[in-house]
Structure formats: structure tokens, C-alpha cells
Structure 1
Amino acid sequence: MERKMKLGMDVVNFNAAGIDIGSRSHYAAIGQELEDVKEFGVYAEDLTSLCQWLMDNDITTVAMESTGDYWQNLYTELISFGFEVVLVNGKFTKNAKGKKTDVKDCRWIQKLHTLGLLTGSFLPDLVTEYLRTYCRQRTNWIELASSATHKMQKYLKLLNFRLDVVVKDVCGLTGMNIIEDICKGNLDPYKLAEHRHYNCRKPKEEIAKALHGNNRKDYLFGLKQELENYTFCQRKIKACDKQINSFIKNELKQHPERKKLKTTDKPHKRINKNAPQIKNLNQLAFRYFNGVDLFAIEGLSHSSILSIMSEIGPDGFKKFETAKHFSSWLRLAPNNKISGGKILSNRVPKGSNRLKIALRQAANAIGNLKDTHLSDFFRRVAYRKGRHSAVSATARKLAVIIWNMITKKVQYKPPKQYLFLDQKRKMGLIKRIKKQIDKFELKPDDLGFKTI
């Protein structure tokens, strides 16, 4: 007689609920029956009623989808009531059979969460969320300023002012002085050329030759409007920098023991016009990460460090068990798909976040450096697989280095020490002197040195 085996799945999360997030209403399920499902609105009193209903039914843990931005207010309310909240990526809850409805969705989420089949998404701590809001707002203003810059260049070309040919950056010192003077009504090319900065490579004569325009009033009006838009964005960026600086300093005041921490200055780290104008960010970041000097890594700029501070924070790294988990979350590690013992695909998954973009930009900058540990790694990968793959591989290597530095409290010690420009010149000079000494077989007495 055949023996029938009955397989079942153990309940992992008792007293679990599932919530399907919507723009106008939220559906909550505390069980699999229809009477266990209830609809709530999105107003503040509705969210409070939802939390109270869950408490009345002895719910302790809740799973919900991260749909757009609609989940954030409900998530905050659930946390304030003391629930354990699991925020789930929507792609992991889309396997329900049959016709899709909100009622079915919330019941399916509740079932998966009860069986322990859902994993939560990464969420930073509250302090990092505050800093992230300020930094993302700053990024928005930079994008708007960039859009205004492109429109100014368009109007300059329509006016036949080929400023883009004679200056490297239209919004640099020379370019902005000329544009401001044009908007004030000065259209004399020779007077405009007097605004040439001494660092500009082109002579005044060539700049004046590029500024013979058609002087159309409609294009001049458009240029003036875009200049006002650009200056407005720059004021907002400065306000964001001031707020970020104030917030970081106030946060460091909560840890007075870190005030004694001090690292070496990094004068070689260039500060471009889009970099955060925060005084002594090197020392602030060193104290913020409790004695970990991320600025010591070549290729990481002020913007890169600020992205790490705002997107994940010093405590966020502890939520990833290993560096592999961290690089996988960033989608910088290959996603191996194996079937029948054969690798079907090992591509890096699509998708990105702001921290991944910052690390890829840093990796791209490392590719332009010379004689460093990371730049040598970059070139080895680029030689075999191309620059695009080298950027991804170096960004992953950066992620692993940063995770180890912050979680294990170790300093950056590359096998090959990075030398700055003055150090390179000094080493080159010493090498040439040694070569000359060996060539002519000079002794210390010949050079006037006294041996002791």
C-alpha cells in the first residue's frame, strides 16, 4: 500500500499582518478569510485607526510593500505604535495566482510573511534619513542648475556668441562675468573680452572674435531669464550646504569624545564648483565615522564621502553581514544564474541607487590616476574586459574596502602606497641622483659628506 506524505510549511511569524499600499487607500489583512481584510484611508486619523485595529487583534509584526512614496507615513505610524515592520520590495510579492485585486494582494502578503518568506529592504536610521533629505535636495538643485546652464549655452549659440569655443567652462569665472555683462546690456565684444581671467588659455583677441553676435532681443531676454534661474539655484545650493554643515556639527556634539579625533590634511583633494562647500569636511567625516579616514582612499571626493554619510550612514553598514552582502545590495556583484550545473548568466543586475552612482563615479576617477593600487587594478580589468567593466569592478572593490574599514575599524593600507605630486617629484629626483652617483662611482668624500 502506497504511503501518502503530507508536506507543510511551518509558521515562522505568528500574529502577522499584510498591508497592500495604495495612493487612496490601504488594505490590511490579519488572516486568510474575507472578514480578516479591512480597507483604510490615507489620512492621519485613518492610519491611526489602522494601527489601533492591528493592536486590537494582537498583531505584532507587519509586512508591507514599498510602493512609491505612499508607504512612508504609514511606516512611521506603525513604528510609533511599536510594531515590527518588514518593508518588502514589490517584485517579491507578485506571484499570486488568478485575478489581481487589492484584497488578494494583502492576503498573499500576509500569508508569505506568516511563513517567513519575505525579507525586508534596507532602511537607514533616523539621523541618516535627515541628512539624506538635505543631500538629495541639494542634488535636485544641482540638476536644475545644470539644466539652466545648458539653456544658457543654447541661447548663446543662437546669439552667435561662441563662448563655448574660447572658454572651457561657460559657467566659470570668465564665462559668468561675460554672460552677466551681456545681460546688463553690454554687447561690445572688446569690452566683454576684458573679463578674461588670467587662467584662461585663449587671448583677449580670440575671445573678442567669438563675441560678435546678432544681438536679437528675444534671445537676449531668454538668456537673462536663464541666468536668473541659474543664480537662484546657486543660492539654494549654498543654503543646502549651510544646513548640511550645521546638521553634521550638531550630530557630532552628541558625541563629545570624538572631538579629540584628528586626521591628516588632504590638500590634494580637489574641490570643484559642484562639491559641497563645507569647511574642513575631511575632519568632520573622520569624526562622523568614529576615527575611520575614508578620505585616504584615492578617488573618493567630497561628494562621494557625503553620499556615503547620507545614503547609508555609519550604522547602516552593520545591517549587512559581509562585504559580499553589501556589494550585492548595491548591485555591483555579478548575479550568477545556474541551472543543471551550468552558468546561464553572470551579469551585474540592472538598477542603481545614489550610492552606487557615487562609487562608479569615484571608480571612473581612479581610472584616470597613475601608479596607485586601485588604478593598477582598474587598468588590468580594462585591458581584458574594457573600461565599462573596469568601472563596475573597481566600484565593487571600493564598496568592499569601505565596508571593511567602517565595520572592522581598520585604516586603508594599500599594498602600493599612493604618492602625491610633490612626493613623486622628490622620489624621481632621488632616483636620478642615485643613478648619477652609481654612474660616476662617487664616494661620500667626493661629495663633501663626512662619515661618522
Structure 2
Amino acid sequence: MQKALMEMNVQLHHVVSDITGATGMRVIRAIADGERNPATLAQMRDVRCHASTETICSALTGNWRDEHVFALCQSLALFDFYQLKIVECDRKLEIALRDLEGGDGYDIARLPKIRTKTKQVNAPDFEVRSALYRVLGVDLTQIHGIGPSLALKLVGECGTDLAAWPSSKHFTSWLCLAPGNKISGGKLLSSKTRRSSSRAAALLRLAATTIGRTDTALGAFYRRLSARAGKAKAVTATARKLAVLFYNALRHGMAYSDPGAAQYEERYRSRVIGNLQRRAKAFGFSLQELPSEPETAVS
């Protein structure tokens, strides 16, 4: 659709962030129905659209050649067809989750309070969080970085029963998120993580990249490790932490509660001070905290 619009010199993608959003689809459907007046098309903007009506009007001045309009109509019909097929897939997923419940399933009344109400892009059109809770008995979305869509994908890749892995270490090793130590003659030759084609590992890495921008304990861990060892290692290490939390929640019913970035930084500071004190004591020294400097008055 965007290609057909560009060939008509209609720069809709410059004034809206997504042409398949509310404003974009209203304009495209109006063009397909025969509307050509840029001012009329600009009036179809959604109230949440950042671009003004005048800006949208100037971007919708095109040549309206018949062959390009025909290509746009064909693309729009294909878009609607694919949307219909996606809805059918969502219905199939909903039925599959209902079949996994086994009896009445877990009581939905005990579902924890939702952590965020932001709807993810391309999320299924049914209540994934409630459906997963009926099957698993735990709310995976309480773990920061794991939303309903990601939780559904991880369960689809790993299953609902993780008993095949005796511990979280076995699980992270299977995902190739743990160090792959190569030892010869008692000497460590390499500890790089192995390459993996696992979709679950790729999803966890994407979640780790996103969580690095949040004010959470996992976000603080990502930023600290990224500054010290680089972003690549920080992504792998944070993805491993997410995998451990996912395993413990699904296998042992662990309820995750984020301590926050400030508490994580304080615990890290205490751990560093403890290590320094032990090293100083081993060399026969003792550490003392410097007295706080008095605040100077500013005239």
C-alpha cells in the first residue's frame, strides 16, 4: 500500500507513524472509495495524530493515476484478507489454550493485578493473559520484559511442563544462554556461549534489549553490565536472567516481584564494599568511611 501511495506522490508515511493505524487506514479506504480532495482526506485524522490537518493536507496532494489507484485497491484487499486470516489463527490459538486447561482450570479471580495496560502491537485479539493463567496458574506477565504475546510464544516453544530440565541451569544451557566452557587439561580455553537457532532464546534476547531502558532491577543490571562488558554480553546475561525467572515461575510457581533499580544499585554497592573490606583485611588494612563534607551556604 505504501509503495502505491508513493508512486502517486502521496507521502502519507511522512505524516503518520504507521499507515495501518487509525488515520492511515481511514485515508487509504477513502482513496479506494474515490475521494481525491486532500482537505477532505486530512479531516479524517485521528485526534491522537501528532501531525496537523494542514501538514497532512500538503502530504496528500498526488497525481491519482488509475493504475496506481488500482494497485492500492489490490493491496488493500490483500491486507484485509490477511487480517481475516490472522483473526482465524487467533481463534485457533484460543481454542488450543482452552483445551490445555484440563477441567475447570485455575481460578481467574486469583489473577494478580495487571502490571501495565499498554496493548502490544500485533497482539492476539483475545485475552491471552487470562487464558495462560487458567492453564499455568501463574502470571508470567509480572516478570518485566515478558508481555502476554511473548509469554504465549515462550510457552509455545518450551511447553507448559519444564520437568525435562532438572534445574534452571539445565534450562539456560539448553537455550545456549549459559557459558559454554571448553576445558582441556584442567585449563579453561573458552567460555563463550554456543550459537543457537532456538526461537525462545531469540525472543528472550529481544526482551532483554527492551528491558534495558526500564527503571527496574533487571534494567539496572543490563545497564551496569553493558557499561562494563559491552551490550552483546549484557543482552545474553539479561536474557539468561529472564530465562531463569521464566523457569522458576513455570516449574515452581514463583511469584516475581521487582525490587526496583534503586534497591538493586544499593545491593550492588553493599556487595562491592564488602569485597573491598575483605581484600583490605587480607592485606592487614581496614577501610573507614570518609566523613560527609558540610554543605556550604550559597549567597
Q: TM-score range by the shorter chain?
A: 0.7 to 0.9
Distance 1:267 1:335, change over 3 A: closer
Q: 1:75-107: CA deviations, max 9, x gaps? A: xxxxxxxxxxxxxxxxxxxxxxxxxxxxxxxxx
Unaligned stretches of 5+ in structure 2?
Answer: 263-299
- How far 1:318 sits from its partner (Å)? 0.8
The structure 1 residue matched to 2:252, chosen from 385, 405, 408, is 408
**2:88 aligned with 1:243:** no
Contact 1:271–1:302 (8 Å) recurs in 2? no
Contact 2:180–2:193 (8 Å) recurs in 1? yes
What residue is the counterpart of 1:355 in the other structure?
A: 200
Contact 1:261–1:286 (8 Å) recurs in 2? no
CA distance, structure 1, for counterparts of residue 245 and residue 108 of structure 2: 25
The structure 2 residue matched to 1:308, chosen from 146, 154, 170, is 154
Distance 1:345 1:226, change over 3 A: farther
CA distance, structure 1, for counterparts of residue 260 and residue 249 of structure 2: 17
The structure 1 residue matched to 2:235, chosen from 391, 395, 409, is 391
Unaligned stretches of 5+ in structure 1?
Answer: 1-151, 419-452
With the length of structure 2 as denominator, give the TM-score of the two structures: 0.81
What residue is the counterpart of 2:222 in the other structure?
A: 378
CA distance, structure 2, for counterparts of residue 242 and residue 219 of structure 1: 35
CA distance, structure 2, for counterparts of residue 257 and residue 285 of structure 1: 10
How many residues are paired up? 262
- How far 1:251 sits from its partner (Å)? 2.8
Letter in 2 for 1:321: P
The structure 2 residue matched to 1:321, chosen from 166, 175, 186, is 166
Q: Which has the higher contact order (CA 8 A, sep 6+)?
A: 2
Larger radius of gyration: 1
CA distance, structure 2, for counterparts of residue 166 and residue 229 of structure 1: 24
Q: Which has the higher strand share?
A: 1
- How far 1:306 sits from its partner (Å)? 0.6
Worse overlay, 409-418 or 357-366:
409-418
CA distance, structure 2, for counterparts of residue 199 and residue 417 of structure 1: 32
Q: 1:393-439: CA deviations, max 9, x gaps? A: 21111001111222222211344389xxxxxxxxxxxxxxxxxxxxx
What residue is the counterpart of 1:143 in the other structure?
A: none
Distance 1:299 1:269, change over 3 A: farther
Letter in 2 for 1:349: R
- How far 1:314 sits from its partner (Å)? 1.7
Contact 2:142–2:256 (8 Å) recurs in 1? yes
Distance 1:231 1:273, change over 3 A: farther
Contact 2:105–2:134 (8 Å) recurs in 1? no
**2:112 aligned with 1:264:** yes
- Percent sequence identity is 38
- Matched position secondary structure for 1:338: strand
Q: Give RMSD over aligned pairs.
A: 2.1
Q: 1:114-161: CA deviations, max 9, x gaps? A: xxxxxxxxxxxxxxxxxxxxxxxxxxxxxxxxxxxxxx2222222211
Letter in 2 for 1:320: W
Worse overlay, 264-273 or 396-405:
264-273
- How far 1:257 sits from its partner (Å)? 5.8
**2:35 aligned with 1:186:** yes
Contact 2:220–2:261 (8 Å) recurs in 1? no
- Matched position secondary structure for 1:225: helix
The structure 2 residue matched to 1:295, chosen from 134, 141, 156, is 141
Distance 1:278 1:233, change over 3 A: same
CA distance, structure 2, for counterparts of residue 260 and residue 240 of structure 1: 24
The structure 1 residue matched to 2:182, chosen from 324, 329, 337, is 337
1:197-236 paired onto structure 2 within 5 Å = 197-236=46-85
With the length of structure 1 as denominator, give the TM-score of the two structures: 0.55
- How far 1:175 sits from its partner (Å)? 0.6
- Matched position secondary structure for 1:355: helix
Distance 1:228 1:197, change over 3 A: same
